[in-house]
Amino acid sequence: MQVLRILQNGTLQMSEEEKKIKVFVISDHPMAPSGVGSQTKYIIEALVKTGRYKFFCFGGAIKHHSYDQMAVEGYEDDWVVQPVDGYGNQEMVRSVMYQFKPDIVWYMTDPRFYEWLWDMENEIRSICPMVYYHVWDNYPLPKYNKNYYESTDVIASISKVTYDIVNGVAPSVENHYVPHAVNLNIFKKIEKEKIEEFRKEHFPDDDGKVTFFWNNRNARRKLSGSVLWWFNEFAEQVGPEKVRLIMHTEPNDEHGQDLNQIIRELDAEDGRIILSVKKVPPEVLSMMYNISDCTINISDAEGFGLATLESLSCSTPIIVNMTGGLQEQVTDGKEWFGIGLEPVSKVVIGSQQVPYIYEDRVSKEDFIDALTKMYEMKAEDREELGEKGRKYVEEKYNFNNFEKTWIDLMDSIHEKYGCCSRFAKARR
């Protein structure tokens, strides 16, 4: 139904509903248990709550039991999700552009997934701006992305590395440094009594094992097999009855390794390595960080690594590869909130889509040394590292600031690049 009213002076007056800025989102499904999915959810929630935005989302990157559109509970028509395979295609985008008539098209994840979208930028940008939340890239400087970046009105970069890469490849493109954030009210230090209850429930025979936590997708770049294999070697050195590794992942991901088979081959089925395969709500994930003494992420070419930020928010220290956004988390340049490992191997790999990129990996020896240092550290010293990490997250990755940044950014994009602005420029 048309909701415009014609006033006596001949002008049109829009209802509050019609005034809302419509954003078309192409990303991981906002309910998906991934860093991209959770950040998509956080950003949309912040914008919808202003009462000035409404969203239509392609929900990609997960297996769907149904492809029916769904209104997100509590948001009605202001937030609708359409499950898609991959991230959709050009015809699907054209259909949404025609029916939804967005004011902004916003997309988020690895740039290699969006070649097909940038190929139709002339169609989209003649109608509304294109905004890209750039979550990952790596050196050597990817000059092959220049056309992609320049086919975008605004880029928000997830890390300082990504920000510098975009500026180096396409300095003319509007670029903003907007790192991830975590909800400090969910990911927090939990009372010791509740932690002990959780431990007893899941580890009734617990005898004070030092617990390491790994929360990642089981994919080649995440080095799931290496983490498992090398941790087992470390466990053999210090005593397998004294340590535990919890791997929260899908053990048979098509992009990864058969972790169950590796555990059997290593004869490590005695509790030293535990696979946590059930998807859990954020509150339970927070508890898993809390029962752990350290969280690990040694992925190569990691864009950000949300799990380690969640860990620090729970006051649990981290061991990370000094690459991408991980190096920003483990230290502020003065204080350390865990152990950072410098890559010892930089191998240039590539594909037809990605002609060249570094595979920057840590060594087995350095990783085992880091595990040993964390294991031998006094409990109070690990706690001190974690407490410093929590304060750092509160200061730099403050959730309220994150929400405000995105609201201000989207407001400015709509004002600067929106339909009215474009029409005004065209008339001039």
pLDDT in tens, 241-273: 999 999 999 998 887 889 999 999 999 988 899
Average the pLDDT over 333-356 and give the result. Answer: 92
Rg of the chain over CA atoms, in angstroms? 23
Task: State whether 380 and 408 are in the same domain.
Answer: no
Residue 124 inside a domain? The answer is yes
Number of neighbouring beta carbons within 10 Å of residue 308: 30
Residue 427 inside a domain? The answer is no
Task: State whether 197 and 171 are in the same domain.
Answer: no
Cis peptide before 33 (omega within 30 of 0): no
Backbone angles phi, psi at 234, to 5 degrees: -60, -45
CA distance 163 to 170: 11
Residue 209's contacts (CB-CB under 8 Å, 6 or more residues apart) are 203, 241, 242, 243, 244
Task: State whether 159 and 227 are in the same domain.
Answer: no
Residue 425 inside a domain? The answer is no
314 has a pLDDT exceeding 90: yes
**b/e burial code for range 127-163 (CB count within 10 A of at least 16 → b):** ebbbbbbbbbbbbeebeebeebbebbbbbbbbbebbb
Query: Is residue 17 very low, low, confident or very high in pLDDT (cuts 50, 70, 90)?
Result: low
Query: Is residue 12 very low, low, confident or very high in pLDDT (cuts 50, 70, 90)?
Result: very low
Average the pLDDT over 293-322 and give the result. Answer: 95
Query: Is residue 43 very low, low, confident or very high in pLDDT (cuts 50, 70, 90)?
Result: very high
User: What residue numbers bound the domain in which 262 lies?
Assistant: 192-396
Residue 422 inside a domain? The answer is no
User: CB-based burial of residue 192 (10 Å sphere; 0-12 exposed, 13-18 middle, 19+ buried)?
Assistant: exposed
Q: Among residues of the chain, what percentage have pLDDT more than 90?
A: 67
CA distance 13 to 393: 45
310 has a pLDDT exceeding 80: yes
CA distance 39 to 327: 20
Task: State whether 276 and 149 are in the same domain.
Answer: no
Name the more confident of 204 and 157: 157
Task: State whether 248 and 373 are in the same domain.
Answer: yes
Look at residue 426 in the predicted model and tell me its pLDDT: 39
Among 28-42, 176-190, 233-247, 257-271, the range scoring the smallest mean pLDDT is: 28-42
Judge whether 126 and 105 are in contact, CB under 8 Å: no
423 has a pLDDT exceeding 50: no
Mean pLDDT rounded to a whole number for the chain: 89
Query: What predicted TM-score, i.e. pTM, was given to this entire model?
Result: 0.87
Name the more confident of 282 and 34: 282
Residue 39 inside a domain? The answer is yes
Number of neighbouring beta carbons within 10 Å of residue 201: 8
Average the pLDDT over 356-375 and give the result. Answer: 96
Kind and range of the H or E element at 200? helix 192-202
Task: State whether 364 and 215 are in the same domain.
Answer: yes
Residue 426 inside a domain? The answer is no
Judge whether 166 and 175 are in contact, CB under 8 Å: yes
Name the more confident of 428 and 119: 119
Look at residue 36 in the predicted model and tell me its pLDDT: 83
CA atoms within 13 A on the CB side of 93: 24
Judge whether 246 and 211 are in contact, CB under 8 Å: yes
Task: State whether 405 and 374 are in the same domain.
Answer: no
Average the pLDDT over 218-242 and give the result. Answer: 94
Backbone angles phi, psi at 239, to 5 degrees: 115, 110
Look at residue 8 in the predicted model and tell me its pLDDT: 53
Task: State whether 161 and 266 are in the same domain.
Answer: no
Task: State whether 129 and 30 are in the same domain.
Answer: yes
**DSSP secondary structure letters along 331-353:** BSSS-BSEEEE--SEEEEE--SS
Kind and range of the H or E element at 100? helix 90-100
Nearest residue to 320 (alpha-carbon basis) of 181, 200, 173, 213: 213
Model confidence pLDDT, tens digit, residues 141-172:
999 999 999 999 999 999 999 999 999 999 99
Q: What CA–CA distances, in Å, run from 147 to 83, 290, 399?
A: 29, 44, 33
Name the more confident of 84 and 5: 84
9 has a pLDDT exceeding 80: no
DSSP class of residue 305?
-
Longest Cα–Cα distance in the chain: 85
Looking only at the bridges linking them, the beta strands covering 79-83 and 130-134 are: unpaired
Task: Output the CA angle 32-90-178, nearest 5 degrees.
Answer: 50
Average the pLDDT over 60-78 and give the result. Answer: 84
Q: What CA–CA distances, in Å, run from 258 to 72, 249, 262?
A: 35, 11, 7
Kind and range of the H or E element at 374? helix 364-376
Task: State whether 224 and 308 are in the same domain.
Answer: yes
**Which long-range contacts does 153-158 make (Cβ < 8 Å, 24+ apart)?**
153/125, 153/129, 153/413, 153/417, 154/129, 154/130, 154/409, 154/413, 154/417, 155/131, 156/131, 156/132, 156/409, 158/133, 158/134, 158/303, 158/304, 158/325
Look at residue 5 in the predicted model and tell me its pLDDT: 42
Average the pLDDT over 312-321 and give the result. Answer: 97
Backbone angles phi, psi at 414, to 5 degrees: -65, -40
Extended beta strands in 174-326, E state: 174-177, 210-215, 243-248, 273-276, 294-297, 318-321
Number of domains the chain is built from: 2
User: CB-based burial of residue 125 (10 Å sphere; 0-12 exposed, 13-18 middle, 19+ buried)?
Assistant: middle
Name the more confident of 36 and 238: 238
Looking only at the bridges linking them, the beta strands covering 273-276 and 243-248 are: parallel
Name the more confident of 37 and 230: 230
Among 79-83, 112-116, 310-314, 374-378, the range scoring the smallest mean pLDDT is: 112-116
Looking up residue 99, the CATH number of its domain turns out to be 3.40.50.2000
Task: State whether 303 and 388 are in the same domain.
Answer: yes
Look at residue 421 in the predicted model and tell me its pLDDT: 46
Look at residue 255 in the predicted model and tell me its pLDDT: 78
Residue 269 inside a domain? The answer is yes
Name the more confident of 152 and 16: 152
408 three-class SS = helix
Query: Is residue 109 very low, low, confident or very high in pLDDT (cuts 50, 70, 90)?
Result: confident
Task: State whether 404 and 374 are in the same domain.
Answer: no
CA atoms within 13 A on the CB side of 23: 28
Residue 424 inside a domain? The answer is no
